Amino acid sequence: MINFLGTYECKIDAKGRFMMPVSLKKQLAPVLQEGFVLKRSVFQPCLELYPMKEWNEMMVRMNKLNRFKKKNNDFIRRFTAGVKTVEIDANGRLLIPKDLIQIASITKNLTVSSAINIIEIWDKESYEQAIDEAAVDFADLAEEVMGDDTTEFLS
């Protein structure tokens, strides 16, 4: 499993391409040849970039869902809506398809942020707003999510 680090600001050109930051490209090097899957986020107005291996692991989990349950079928349809395979070109650029640019309301400036095993791609203003809104409740959220004394995440 790969763990990405960092948050970077980039500019997107008229064709929907942006230059992958050098530091992030180095982190992506082990999975660069396999390609990526780009999709809309479930919870936020951003895009998620999955290395192909991470996407395939997610699909293994999805394939275990009973498709004869309507809510499972609805979830799969929504989760995979607009999914695209993408690659980083020889110049280190990633092309974001136009429909996904619209979904994430990406304008000229974007933020590329690590999210453990995937990368989030945000419109810069939307990212800053989401971080500002989350800051108010972050201490409570951290305690709720990570403060369980029975959790062995630090061992």
First to last CA, the chain: 18
pLDDT, tens digit (0-9, with 9 covering 90-100), for 29-54: 999 999 999 999 998 999 999 999 99
Contact 38, 99 (CB under 8 A): no
Pick the closest to residue 93 from 14, 150, 151, 153 (CA basis).
14
Pick the closest to residue 128 from 148, 142, 107, 153 (CA basis).
107
Q: What is the pLDDT of residue 106?
A: 96
Could you tell me the residue ranges of all domains in the chain?
A: 7-146
Q: Is the pLDDT of residue 155 over 60?
A: no
pLDDT, tens digit (0-9, with 9 covering 90-100), for 83-140: 999 999 999 999 999 999 999 999 999 999 999 999 999 999 999 998 887 766 777 7
Say if pTM beats, i.e. exceeds, 0.75.
Answer: yes
Strands (E), the chain: 7-11, 17-19, 36-40, 47-51, 84-86, 93-95, 109-115, 118-123
Decide: helix, strand or coil at residue 5. coil
Strands 17-19 vs 93-95: parallel, antiparallel or unpaired: antiparallel
* 7-146, CATH topology level: Chemotaxis protein chec (3.40.1550)
Pick the closest to residue 113 from 2, 3, 5, 15 (CA basis).
5
Q: What is the pLDDT of residue 143?
A: 81
Q: What is the pLDDT of residue 152?
A: 59
pLDDT, tens digit (0-9, with 9 covering 90-100), for 61-94: 999 999 999 999 999 999 999 999 999 999 999 9
